[in-house]
Amino acid sequence: MYPYIHLGSLQLGTFGLLLWLAAVAGTIVLHRNFIRNGVDADALSVVALVTVLGVFGAKVWHELQDVHGLQMALRQIALPGWSHSWEVVVGFLGYLREGYAWFGGLLAGILTLMWQGREARPDGHTGWWASVRMLDLAAPAAAIGYGVGRIGCLTSGDGDYGINTTLPWGVHMAKDALFPPTPPNALVQPTPVYEFLFAMVIGWVLWRLGRKVLPLGWLTGLYLVLSGTGRFLVEFVRINPKLYLGMSNAQVAALGSVVVGVVVMIVAQRRDVKVLPAMSEEAATA
């Protein structure tokens, strides 16, 4: 694990660095998708807002799962007296450094994209269909960005809560991991790597399908199905509390994503509202 990169007196957190890289990758993919579909919108602004609110949503969802833990953390950083206000800020930022839930970020990102779609009006759509169109356009970028971001969880040690393994690609957990392996020096499954690889495949599939004329919303539904399936499967080799019918909280949320995605695909197919992408000759071959 490499939670920090030390450059002299400068200390860079690898989680934040990879989160930034994930936003860059997502911006590039979304920008390319805007170009090949003739959409006049600023990909950087879209991704920046989605990233900020997505991180916020992921943090909120995580804390709602452990309200007691949130209360304990706030008690520890809430030092008495205004003279310690700087220590409070530093402690709170340290608390924000870890503990994020995938589903909370997904939900916040979807809502943000839908709002931005209504504002950008891609392909001249307005209202609901503008929101759906933006979700379809952003689906490949969302998959790629998520995959890159998971590598940040690998380097920081926040998220590598895999089961013990003897596989040659097993990794050591950080010393302060929430779920340390037994024995402490055992190797564990690098679950973020699995999610990264699966996300790259999802992104490639969505990008290729984006060249076709599909019903509005169908691509978004497929993204929900595939991403939910990937998260559901990876939980079998992660160490998370089993809360519902032998499933973790993340698995239940992932199943919900799959179900919603299937419903969205069925509705989109029945409505059959299509947009013919105005692709440039160069971009259409991408």
- State how far the alpha carbon of 140 is from the alpha carbons of 10, 116, 146, 216, in Å: 34, 17, 10, 15
User: Which is it for the CA torsion 217, 117, 103, 226, positive or negative?
Assistant: positive
Per-residue pLDDT tens for 264-276? 999 999 998 887 5
Within-domain flag for 221 = yes
Alpha-carbon distances of 249 from 61, 65, 99, 190, 272, rounded to whole Å: 11, 9, 14, 20, 34
pLDDT at 142: 94
pLDDT at 268: 95
Specify if 3 maps to a domain. no
Query: What is the 3-class SS of 175-237, one letter each residue?
Result: CCCCCCCCCCCCCECCHHHHHHHHHHHHHHHHHHHCCCCCECCHHHHHHHHHHHHHHHHHHHH
Instruction: Quote the tokens at residue 246.
Output: 């032998």
The 3-state DSSP class for residue 272 equals coil
Q: Determine, yes or no, domain membership for 196.
A: yes
Beta-sheet pairing, 247-248 with 4-7: unpaired
Q: Tell me, what's the pLDDT at 58? A: 80
Segments of the chain with pLDDT less than 50: 70, 73, 77, 79, 81-96, 279-284
| 58 assigned to some structural domain | yes
What integer pLDDT is reported at residue 95 of this predicted model?
46
Rounded to whole angstroms, what are the CA distances from 247 to 64, 160, 224, 243, 253? 18, 18, 19, 6, 10
Range of the domain at 185: 18-285
Does 237 reside within a domain? yes
Q: How many domains does the chain have?
A: 1
Conformational region of residue 38, where left means phi above 0, alpha means psi within -120 to 50, and beta covers everything else: left
Residue-wise pLDDT for 187-220, tens only, equals 889 999 999 999 999 999 999 999 888 999 999 9
